[in-house]
Structure formats: structure tokens, C-alpha cells
């Protein structure tokens, strides 16, 4: 289907540099999303969905603080947002627990996001880089007072790298609170921890890595199927996996 459309997308931002390290801002904007190809036709009955375009209005405000010294740097950010989406394109339950695409009114998305990054030189050869983040999400459909499926209510994570000469240790840890799976049913995933870690040795153009994915051997889905039977077990993540790699760099 070929069509042309015109849509005004106003955006306003106000920022203030409070100090040399602290900056605060507030911004408001609007946006939209047109149905994609897979959202236009029902893949089972090949019937057109005739979906409307999404329209969103978002308010965000936050602050960023940075500090640097001779052996360390710190960067922190805090941001809050509130978004209202009209004609939101979403999967909704149908007869016999089937799912189909439809426009849904009253989708509101609010939350708080915080992040930090610290880099510290320990001694002459050891460097520590750590990043962390926290998200608090409250996404829901107002008419039904129901939580939007597929989004954790809270999540926390850290990534880091500790290096000394040719050696380096990396980690990535994530914690997800329970996730709603169905608009109209009391169906949730369990809270879960995910941990990946590895060590690396580099010599010249060669680098050898030994790592573990899903080190805690946690049961979780890497791709949740919402608003359908068996959502929490859809596409389960692999169990604990040990991997080894050898990488070399070709220079000319």
C-alpha cells in the first residue's frame, strides 16, 4: 500500500547549566508511529487490520552530574518521563486466547531512570570501569487499569571491567522484577537474576577469552510471548554455557 502523510512533530527543550558539573533539563515532544508491514495484515486469515497511526506526547525532565579528578571520573544521570499514547498498536487477546493487533486507547507510560559510570585508576596498571543503572516503570492501559504486558516493573543492572596489564575481567549482571504476561489475567513471570562473566588475556595481536553465559543457570525467557498461553516459557534462554574464543587482529 502506497500513501503519503504529513504530521507536525513539535519539540521543546529547556536546559540550565547550574554548575560546571551539573546540568538540568526539561523537554516536551510529540511523535507518531505508522503501522508496519507485519501489523497491517493478520498472518493467519490474511485479513487487513486497518490500524490507525499511533500518536504520543511525552514530558521528560532530569539532571546530569559529572566530576573528574586525576585518577577517577564519575558520571551520573537521573531522568523521569511521562508519556501518553493514543491509538497505541498492541497485541490484545481474542477468542480462544488467540492474539491479534488492534488500536488501544489510554496507554500511559511513566518511569524513572538512573545511571552512573565510574572509572578509577588503581595503582599504575589496574583500571576499574563500572556502569550501573536502575529503572522503575509504570506502564498501563487506563481504561482497564491493567499493567502493560512485557515490561518489568523494576530493573537493576551493572556492567564492569577490571584490567591489569594483559589481563581483564568483565561482568554483566541484570535483575528484573516480575513481568506481567496477560492483559486480563493474573499471570506474571518470576523475578530473575542474569549474570554473564568472562576473563581475557591479550598478547600482541592475539586475545583469548573464557567466559560463562547465564552463570547462575537461571530459568527465564529471552523473548516473552504476551497475551497468549504459555508466555513465560516461550523461547527459554539457554542454561549455563561455558565458551572459549580466540581473536586476533590483522594489521597492514
pLDDT digits 0-9 by tens, 172-196: 999 999 888 877 777 888 899 999 9
d(CA 50, CA 53): 10
% of the chain exceeding 70 in pLDDT: 86
Q: What is the pLDDT of residue 168?
A: 97
Residue 237 · residue 220 · CB < 8 Å: yes
Q: What is the pLDDT of residue 6?
A: 76
Q: Residue 40 is inside which H or E element, if any? A: helix 37-40
| 79: helix, strand or coil | strand
Q: What is the mean pLDDT of residues 101-105?
A: 79
Residues composing the chain: 252
Alpha helix (H) ranges present in 24-121? 37-40
Q: Sign of the CA dihedral 133, 175, 145, 51?
A: positive
Residue 120 · residue 71 · CB < 8 Å: yes
- Nine-digit cell string for 20: 560546571
More confident position, 99 or 252? 99
Residues 65-94 pLDDT 10s: 999 998 999 999 999 999 998 888 877 766
More confident position, 1 or 170? 170
Cα-Cα end-to-end distance for the chain:
49
- pTM for the full predicted model: 0.77
Residues 2-52 pLDDT 10s: 667 777 889 999 999 999 999 999 999 998 887 776 666 666 666 777 788
- To 5 degrees, how large is the angle CA 91–CA 92–CA 97? 115
Residue 210 · residue 198 · CB < 8 Å: yes
d(CA 8, CA 4): 14
Q: What is the pLDDT of residue 136?
A: 94
Residue 142 has pLDDT above 80, yes or no: no
**Which letter does DSSP use for residue 51 in this model?**
P
Q: What is the pLDDT of residue 88?
A: 83
Lowest mean pLDDT among 18-32, 145-159, 161-175, 198-212: 145-159
Amino acid at each position: 500500500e502506497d500513501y503519503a502523510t504529513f504530521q507536525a512533530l513539535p519539540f521543546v527543550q529547556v536546559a540550565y547549566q547550574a554548575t560546571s558539573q551539573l546540568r538540568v533539563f526539561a523537554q516536551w515532544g510529540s511523535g507518531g508511529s505508522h503501522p508496519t508491514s507485519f501489523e497491517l495484515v493478520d498472518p493467519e486469515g490474511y485479513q487487513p487490520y486497518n490500524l490507525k497511526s499511533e500518536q504520543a506526547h511525552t514530558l521528560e525532565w532530569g539532571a546530569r552530574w559529572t566530576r573528574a579528578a586525576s585518577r577517577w571520573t564519575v558520571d551520573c544521570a537521573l531522568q523521569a518521563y511521562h508519556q501518553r499514547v493514543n491509538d497505541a498498536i498492541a497485541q490484545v487477546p481474542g477468542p480462544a486466547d488467540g492474539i491479534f493487533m488492534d488500536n488501544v486507547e489510554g496507554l500511559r507510560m511513566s518511569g524513572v531512570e538512573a545511571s552512573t559510570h565510574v572509572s578509577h585508576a588503581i595503582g599504575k596498571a589496574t583500571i576499574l570501569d563500572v556502569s550501573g543503572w536502575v529503572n522503575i516503570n509504570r506502564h498501563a492501559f487506563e481504561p482497564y487499569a491493567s499493567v502493560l504486558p512485557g515490561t518489568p516493573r523494576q530493573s537493576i543492572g551493572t556492567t564492569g571491567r577490571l584490567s591489569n596489564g594483559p589481563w581483564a575481567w568483565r561482568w554483566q549482571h541484570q535483575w528484573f522484577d516480575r513481568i506481567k504476561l496477560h492483559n486480563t489475567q493474573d499471570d506474571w513471570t518470576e523475578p530473575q537474576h542474569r549474570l554473564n562473566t568472562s576473563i581475557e588475556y591479550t598478547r600482541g595481536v592475539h586475545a583469548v577469552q573464557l567466559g560463562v553465559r547465564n552463570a547462575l543457570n537461571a530459568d527465564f525467557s529471552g523473548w516473552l510471548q504476551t497475551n497468549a498461553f504459555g508466555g513465560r516459557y516461550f523461547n527459554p534462554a539457554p542454561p549455563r554455557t561455558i565458551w572459549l574464543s580466540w581473536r586476533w587482529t590483522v594489521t597492514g
